[in-house]
Structures are given as C-alpha cells and as structure tokens.
Amino acid sequence: MSTRAYAAQNAKSPLGPFTCQRRDPRATDVEIDILYCGVCHSDLHQTRDEWHDFAPTAYPCVPGHEIVGRVSKVGKDVTKFKVGDIAAVGCMVDSCRTCESCAKGLEQYCTSFPTLTYNGQDKISGGVTYGGYSERVVVDEAFTLKVSDKLNLAATAPLLCAGITTYSPLKHWGAGPGTKVGIVGLGGLGHMGVKFARALGAHVVLFTTSPGKVEDGKRLGAHEVVVSKNADEMKAQAASFDFVLDAVSAEHDINAYLSLLKLDGTLCLVGAPEKPLPVAAFNLLMPRRSFAGSGIGGIAETQEMLDFCAERGITSDVEVIPIHKINEAYDRLLKGDVKYRFVIDMASLKA
Ligand code: NAP
Ligand code: ZN
Ligand code: ZN
C-alpha cells in the first residue's frame, strides 16, 4: 500500500516528503496507523551515513524506530491485537528467531543480525525497510509491543528506543539500592537513564556538558549533577562508581569516565559516535575496570520495561513537533538543545 513518509535522499540532503510501499498484512502481521514517532539521534547518524563502516545507509532512508500507533488491520492468526488497539514498534521488526541469542530473547544480538525497523534488509518484501516517519507500518506481531493507555502516547514513543536502551544495561549491571550509578549526557537516552536508575533505587549522578541542564537533571531524578567541564567536580567523583552509562552521541574523552569507576566497576557505552574513542590502558587495568557496550533490548525485556513504566508512571519528557520541523529538530539535536526528546505528531504528515 502506498504510504506517505519523510525520507533523506542522500547523506547531505534534508529530509522531505517521500512515498513508500507497505505490504498487505500476512496472517501474523499487524498494520499500525502511526500516531507518534520519536526522533532518536541514531536517525540523524544514519540519514547522514555516519555509521557507514558498521551499516552503510541505503537511500532513500525513512528513519524512525520509536513508534506508537493504532492498529488498523490484523492478519487472521494475530492474537495480541484487534483493530483499534494501541500498539508500538521499536528498533527491530524481525530476527532469525532460532539462534542462541534469539532463543534467549535477545533478538537484538541475533547472530544473523536482526531486521532493523529502517535501513534493514526487508526479508519479506525485499529491498530496504522503511521506518516510522510515515503514516503506517506493517510488522509481524512477534515484534510488536503493548503500551498502557494510561500513559501519554506521545511521551511513550521514546520508550521504544531511548527507554529500552537505558533500561536494559541498568538492569543487566545491577543498578539498584546500594549502587552508585553515573549517567553521561542528558539527551533522549540520558534523561531516561536518569529516570530508570532512580526508579531502580540507585544513587544517581548525572554528568553533563551543559550547565543549563543542572536543575533539569535533579528534577528528572539525579541525586547529584556534575558539569563535566569542571575538573574539580570530576575529581571529587573519581573511583567511586559501580556503573556508568555513557549516552553521548559525539566524540568525547572516554578516559575521564573510566576514571570514575571503582574496583570492578563497569563503563557501558550506549552512545554510538561516528569516530572511535581511544582508551588509555591504565585506565582499565587499575583498578580492574570493565569497558562494555549494550544495544537496545530484546522484545520480552522491552515489554517488561513498558510494563514497569506503566506501573511507575514513567514516560519521556517530550517536545512534540510537526514533521516539517524535522530538519530544524536535527540541527537542535546537534547542539544538545533538546528537552529531552522530539516526537513527531504524525497527523502533520496527513495534513
Ligand atoms: P541526544 O538526545 O542528541 O543526546 C546526546 C547528548 O550527549 C546531548 O544532549 C549532550 O548532553 C551530550 N553530548 C552531545 N555532544 C557532546 C559532546 N561533543 N561531548 C560531550 N557530550 C555531548 O542523543 P540520543 O538520542 O540520546 O542518543 C545518544 C547516542 O546513543 C547516539 O549516538 C545514538 O545513536 C546512540 N544510541 C544507541 C543505541 C544503542 O542501542 N546502543 C540506541 C539508541 C541511540 P549534555 O548536554 O548533557 O552534555
Ligand atoms: Zn534509537
Ligand atoms: Zn537469531
């Protein structure tokens, strides 16, 4: 079906109107009319082909993997949804479903690589997958999520990437009562990291380059906020953390954050800057620190996170924009000027 969307035509072009095709729902497919789609910094990286060495961008590229919408059609074998229900889709729309990772519910680490929601290889229709900056999407129900109708839907959309990407490593590395957790970078991911680390019961310290975000950091749940440009403030935190989650989108000095870890502490990267980050050996060796990474989260854990958010009333702090403001939003993301996630109101695409 012909579907209105917004796409980048090449790495240098702004995003603009584009029409893509969606398949007719198969027996296990759900067709979703998209209400809201969050704007992740990964959308910006990929429309500009900044992850070329890992996953070159195929153009036209329709980004968007924080999708919430209303079910408009269901295949005959669908059990999770009926027409009219609210459904959500995150960063993946399929995986091999049989490998060791998939069997463990870690579809994001599928050994054959999951089918990403956009800029992925579409195993069903062929060609490339197109994401959520569009009026509808068709997804196998196994890769759809249920969201609470008690939560604001626009503010729920960012949970599908920013939410799960921070929740998963915080859980994996045991953030909770008695642990000291650092969150680096107060953007889309970082502000969810602060909220989750606090909700899980950790002592939370936010590291930001932006003095203007100190008060927001505290409001969002940080016990302490450190302006990372201030050497004395950084020094006062040295070697005291169990876990630090780095959600920075650009080049920065990773060694400054490794120095924050105490014995056996872990620095986990979720930010995915374009260029490699050099690590000084002795920052790892002494005292036995770990440098790790984490990618989004599996479908079951994403549902767990959404249910956790519904119970606790946790959503993202959003600025809702019409789709024609998307290029302006990207410019603002690059300046760290986002409070704290842009979300596209997809009605603006149909207007
Ligand atoms: P974002 O909203 O743009 O936030 C990034 C934040 O990083 C900024 O708000 C800023 O926070 C800080 N920052 C930016 N430039 C910096 C610099 N030069 N030095 C130090 N700090 C800087 O981005 P996002 O959507 O949260 O995404 C963050 C990163 O995670 C991106 O690289 C994205 O691609 C990646 N990501 C990874 C996964 C995964 O699965 N691992 C999933 C989603 C996104 P302050 O103003 O507080 O310093
Ligand atoms: Zn994302
Ligand atoms: Zn697999």
Q: How far is the CA of 322 from the centre of ligand 1 (A)?
A: 22
Q: How far is the CA of 91 from the centre of ligand 2 (A)?
A: 7
pLDDT (mean) for 162-184: 98
User: Nearest ligand, CA of residue 109?
Assistant: 3
Q: How far is the CA of 31 from the centre of ligand 3 (A)?
A: 24
pLDDT attached to residue 187: 98
Q: How far is the CA of 199 from the centre of ligand 1 (A)?
A: 21
pLDDT digits over 219-238, tens only?
999 999 999 999 999 999 99
Residues 6 or more apart whose Cβ sits within 8 Å of residue 44:
50, 330, 333, 334
- Nearest CA-CA partner of 166 in 100, 97, 231, 221: 221
3-state secondary structure of 289: coil
Ligand 1 interacting residues, C-beta cut-off 6 A: 40-42, 45, 161-162, 165, 185-190, 208-210, 213, 247-250, 252, 270-273, 294-296, 333, 336, 338
pTM listed for this prediction: 0.98
pLDDT attached to residue 351: 77
User: Nearest ligand, CA of residue 113?
Assistant: 3
pLDDT attached to residue 175: 98
Percent of the chain with pLDDT over 70: 100
Pick from 248, 337, 338 the residue to mutate for probing ligand 1's pocket: most ligand atoms within 8 Å of its CB: 248
pLDDT attached to residue 341: 98
pLDDT digits over 62-117, tens only?
999 999 999 999 999 999 999 999 999 999 999 999 999 999 999 999 999 999 99
- Nearest CA-CA partner of 346 in 52, 57, 32, 118: 32
User: Nearest ligand, CA of residue 112?
Assistant: 3
What is the pLDDT confidence band of residue 312, given thresholds at 50, 70 and 90? very high
pLDDT(217) > 80: yes
- Atom of ligand 1 at shortest range from CA of 294: 41
- Atom of ligand 1 at shortest range from CA of 333: 3
- Atom of ligand 1 at shortest range from CA of 191: 26
What is the pLDDT confidence band of residue 3, given thresholds at 50, 70 and 90? very high
pLDDT attached to residue 350: 83
Pick from 47, 116, 170, 249 the residue to mutate for probing ligand 1's pocket: most ligand atoms within 8 Å of its CB: 249
- Nearest CA-CA partner of 38 in 147, 127, 128, 122: 147
Mean pLDDT of the chain: 97
pLDDT(139) > 80: yes
What is the pLDDT confidence band of residue 149, given thresholds at 50, 70 and 90? confident
| Long-range CB contact pairs, 190-194, < 8 A, 24+ | 190/166, 190/247, 190/340, 191/162, 191/216, 191/220, 191/316, 191/317, 191/340, 191/341, 192/158, 192/159, 192/162, 192/163, 192/165, 192/166, 192/167, 192/316, 193/166, 193/245, 193/247, 194/220, 194/221, 194/222
Beta strands in 59-108 (DSSP E): 67-74, 86-89, 92-94
